[in-house]
Amino acid sequence: MRKIFGLMVILTAFLTSCSPYNLVTSTTYNNADLSDYHTFHIVTPEEGKLPPGMEMVTYYNIAAAIREQMVERGFTEDPASPLLINIGLTIKKELATEPLMQQVPAPAPPAPLPPAPMPPRPLPGHGPHPFPHAWGPAYNGMSPWFMYPRNNYWTVYNPNVQVVTGMYREGVLTMDMVNITDKIPLFSASVGTILDNGDSQFRNLQGIAEAVQTLFSKFPVAVLPQYRGK
């Protein structure tokens, strides 16, 4: 029996080590207790905008995989839930800023104006977000694009925010959980691929299911007993 158990442990470790996905970050914010929530709501394309390069079928497959993980932990999906699950994907920033067509050369830019005086820094948790729409800060030409604009619930002045440089690789999938009623970040996890062209790895059902399972690998609410060992 001990030999069989030992073989199972080795096999499990081997299968885990062969996964093309790695957990970049998994963090609980504001001392949140996710077990206090019993419902959830996954962001829809109508509430935001798909990251450039993400197809609708890819979004639906990611949402379905997240839904399965939440249900297995005892949560119920409800459009009115205060627990919003936002989806983000790190892509090359120029994909979203490059013009669709440029038939004539652009005119020369005017002479630069002297820099404007810096406005007073807002208090923590207040003031506008310095990044447009759903973008986060760019790093090495990469930037996370979130379907629901992150600046609606998260500012750079939030003392809990840490720059996770591992997020700034193409194809990193991020999931935010937010109390959207009170605009309080609760949990965030990111998963990346160790393969090249990470975005392409999220286009098939098996890859998406494995990536989302990795996203939930350190989620603070355990899977219900009836779903363990699936």
Average the pLDDT over each of 9-18, 55-64, 85-94, 103-112 and give the range with the smallest value. Answer: 9-18
pLDDT at 130: 34
The percent of residues above 90 in pLDDT, for the chain, comes to: 42
pLDDT at 147: 95
Band the pLDDT of 112: cuts 50, 70, 90. Answer: low
pLDDT at 117: 52
pLDDT mean over 30-52: 94
**Would you say residue 28 has pLDDT above 90?**
yes
pLDDT mean over 56-64: 93
pLDDT at 203: 61
pLDDT at 137: 52
pLDDT at 213: 95
Distances (CA, A) of 112 to 59, 117, 139, 160, 166: 42, 15, 25, 36, 35
Mean residue pLDDT of the chain comes to: 73
Long-range contacts at 220-224 (CB < 8 A, ≥ 24 apart): 220/28, 220/33, 220/34, 220/35, 220/187, 221/34, 221/35, 221/73, 221/74, 221/75, 222/73, 223/72, 223/73, 224/72, 224/73, 224/74
Band the pLDDT of 55: cuts 50, 70, 90. Answer: confident
Q: pTM for this structure? A: 0.70
Greater pLDDT, 39 or 153: 39
**Would you say residue 129 has pLDDT above 90?**
no
